[in-house]
Amino acid sequence: MPTAPYPHNNVMIRKLESNFKLTDEEKLALQEVPVHIVDIKSNQDFVKIGDRPTQCCVILEGFSCVYKLTMEGKRQIMALHVPGDIPDLQSLHLDIIDINIATISNCKVGYVQHDDLYDLFKRHPRLNDAFWRQTLVDAAIFREWLLNIGQREAYTRIAHIICEIVLRLKAVGLADDQTFMMPVTQAEMADATGITPVHMNRVLQALRNDDLIRGKRNQVYIPDWQKLVKAGEFDPMYLHLVP
Q: How confident is the model at residue 6 (pLDDT cuts 50, 70, 90)?
A: low
Say whether 152-239 and 9-141 share the same fold.
yes
pLDDT of residue 113: 97
pLDDT one-digit tens code per residue, 76-126: 999 999 999 999 999 999 999 999 999 999 999 999 999 999 999 999 999
pLDDT of residue 243: 80
Please state, for a pLDDT cut of 90, what percent of the chain lies above it.
92
Q: How confident is the model at residue 3 (pLDDT cuts 50, 70, 90)?
A: very low
Q: Is the pLDDT score of 1 beyond 50?
A: no
Q: Top-level CATH class of 9-141?
A: mainly beta
The CATH code for residues 152-239 is 2.60.120.10
If you average pLDDT over every residue of the chain, what do you get? 94
Q: Domain map of the chain by residue range?
A: 9-141, 152-239
Strands (E) located in the chain: 36-40, 45-47, 55-61, 64-69, 75-81, 100-103, 107-113, 179-181, 214-216, 219-221
d(CA 149, CA 221): 24
* Cα distances (Å, whole numbers) of residue 106 to 99, 103, 217: 20, 7, 15
pLDDT of residue 4: 46
